A and B are shown apart, each in its own frame.
Chain A
Amino acid sequence: MSVTGKLACAPQIGDYHIIADMLIERCLNYKTMRCPPMTKRTLEIGARHSPDMICTPFKTTLGNFIEAAEQGANVFIMPGVGCRLGFYDILQKQILDDLGYECEMIALFEYIPTVKRLYTSLSAINPDLTKEDFDTVFATIARITLDMDKLADFIRRNRAFEINKGEYEKYYRAYLDEVTSAENAAAAESIGAAYKEKIESVAINKPNNPIRIGMIGEIAAVVEPFMNCYMEKWLSNHGVEIIRVGDLSTMAVAIFTVDEQVKNSGGYVDYNIGSTANDAIANAYKMAQSGIDGIIHIKPSSCSPEITAMSILQNISRDHDVPFMYMTYDTETSEAGVHTRLEAFIDMITMKRGLQI
């Protein structure tokens, strides 16, 4: 039974809206809709109604919400926690109000994103939500998040080498379609296992020592292909194995393991420097030591923690002789420009290996 008149929408950040949709449908009995896929118009609308100085994900997600509101959505979902993201909900609600959209903004957390707090937030909206039901839903979506991130990670490392192009993508999409109907964690797990087998048996032709590129940075810019100008697709098409950090499941853990990351940073940092920037540094350090060919650091425009991280990454780059490419995304970023830089980056690495470009 769905609550009449409520149509909820989560912003587009990779494929994670499916997790948010399951949470809202099952815990609040709201209907959900997917925001219209992000396009240039989304960026234009989002940027037009956003403050200039704000980080780019604010603009893209506001664009998502406005386009969804145009199609009838009236409940919007935001995490309500973490750096500036923790205040997106207040300001976006104000902007949507000013634009004349009658809507509700749900902030899932407050201050620290714990499972307990999530239940508190949701049961405040739906008093009939029992802890048992919530636990079942949470276990299911946690399973799905872990599985989808693992599958995507495997694909990322191998997509460049698949023999029948498009096979991975086909299976991954099918997995996402099927898993959203899973009733509980066990069902989700068996769907995940079935697709893992299919995905792992896709025929590939992988050389012994392919060019390996690491991707690190701010989660929205790393995860959302539209924001990073389909960088992963471009790299895969150019024969690169991608090792990416910064998916939802690792980030969810990263928030609570900053001390660990500090310890694993090779002495480059002593403290938490904000948001998930420590995770980027610890992983960059690890990658640099593993002899990776190059690292791409991606952040939205004006992302403060990642700007701090850059000062440190420059030292890691210099000390370990690993080339870095820094990319800042804004709503004005040109895809052609990004691809030119990527091409030059791969050329540079190829030449460094002493190979013909």
Chain B
Amino acid sequence: MKIGIPRALQYFFYEDLWLNFFKNIGIETIVSPTTNKEIVKKGVANSIDEACFSSKIFIGHVEYLLDKCDMIFVPRIENSAVREEYCTRIFGLYDLVRNTFPDAKILNAEVNYLYRKRESNAFVKIGEALGKTKEESLEAYQNASSTAESIKAAKILKQEELLKGDGIKILIFSHAYNTYDACIGKEITDYFNKNDIKIAYADLVDEKEAQALTKEAYGKRVYWKVSAQLIGGIEKYRDSVDGIVLISTFPCGPDSIFNELLIRMIKDKPILSLVIDELDASAGIQTRLESFTDIIMARRLSQRTPSKHVRNRR
């Protein structure tokens, strides 16, 4: 028995939890490779043209896995708590995959806190489908869950250290499945790394803290989990960075609202907004990254040697 896991969308939220769970119950997994042109092409060919690029990539990964495993893991996750929903593209994934590849064998379990279908129950169900007892699955889940949490906590700590240090720093506001995808965010993070610009990620933030910060900023709770977390990250880290980079895929529902709000609300930091789709227009991205870097460098210089004019105004 080999379980295929598409390296796209939800995977980037749950990588450590999922991989450790399957390892703990002793089930072999195959994760599709980092996104490449072939996967993009397959995804685009099998998706509705108007669908978001990230979900097209997901479909491409599923197709890649079709003949390489016994079952493909596409859990149907609506939320991670009441009022912490994923976007509709994500919670519609299971039905989307089923209708796109009617013959695919899907390993599924539902997580929906509105119906008291908890994450732990879902993993018990998954374990059941793979011939594991409730106890085995629960233990595997709990261990995987705490491993995932400590990995994330360590990442947050490391990021906070980095932000205390010197150097030019930027903050990336982007869904994890875009930031860390080889065909979406990688070109952008590579550029900053090459130019010695330190990168912080808005999603590396404690979830509860992020929720509270977001509610404070917008006067109401944001029921889209990922957006709420990212906005909290912006609120928490924005004062420690030189600029903010927004990365979206076309067309993204949540980002269409919140990117615009951020651009309108944050006036004291340069913001670069990049929208990526299957058009592969990397020339435009390079140009924008270069000019954005010029702007944050210039601001740094002007802050270090404040002009006379500014001093007088004080």
Contacts and interface: CB of A to CB of B under 8 A. Distances in A.
B256 A53 contact: yes
Given A53-B248, A315-B99, A328-B50, A84 B256 contact: yes
A51 interface: yes
Contacts of B258: 87
B64 interface: no
Residue in A54, A80, A308 whose Cβ sees the most chain B Cβ within 10 Å? A308
B60 to A, nearest CB: 15
A36 interface: no
B256 A310 contact: no
Given A111-B83, A271-B94, A302-B251, A87 B257 contact: yes
B220 A273 contact: no
A271 B110 contact: yes
Contact of B223 (A86, A88, A277, A310): A86
B78 A272 contact: yes
A219 to B, nearest CB: 15
B10 to A, nearest CB: 14
Interface string B254-280: 111111110011000000000100000
B69 interface: no
A90 B220 contact: yes
Contacts of B253: 55, 83-84, 302, 304
Contacts of A87: 222, 257-258
Residue in A55, A87, A314 whose Cβ sees the most chain B Cβ within 10 Å? A87
Contact of A94 (B250, B254, B265, B275): B265
A268 interface: yes
A55 B256 contact: yes
Interface stretch (B85-93, B119-127, B288-296): B85-93
A111 B265 CA distance: 24
A54 B260 contact: yes
A311 B93 CA distance: 11
B95 A84 contact: no
A268 B47 CA distance: 17
A308 B89 contact: yes
A51 B99 contact: no
Given A53-B251, A54-B256, A304-B89, A311 B52 contact: no
How big is chain B's contact interface, by range? 35 or more
Contacts, number: 116
Nearest to B110: A271
A307 B47 CA distance: 10
Contacts of B256: 51-55, 84, 302
A110 B219 CA distance: 12
B223 A91 contact: no
A270 B220 contact: no
A50 B252 CA distance: 14
Interface in A288-321: 301-302, 304-305, 307-308, 310-312, 314-315
Contact of A275 (B51, B88, B96): B88
Contacts of B83: 111
A70 interface: no
A84 B257 contact: yes
Given A51-B256, A83-B253, A271-B76, A307 B100 contact: no
A310 B254 CA distance: 20
> Which 3 A-B pairs rank lowest in CB-CB distance, beginning with the nearest?
A274-B88, A273-B92, A53-B256
Interface of A: 50-55, 80, 83-84, 86-88, 90-91, 94-95, 98, 107, 110-111, 268-275, 277, 301-302, 304-305, 307-308, 310-312, 314-315, 328
28 contacts: A53-B248, A53-B252, A53-B255, A54-B256, A55-B253, A55-B256, A83-B88, A84-B254, A84-B257, A86-B223, A87-B257, A88-B257, A90-B218, A91-B261, A111-B223, A268-B99, A270-B94, A270-B95, A271-B78, A274-B88, A302-B253, A307-B51, A308-B51, A308-B89, A310-B48, A310-B50, A311-B99, A328-B50
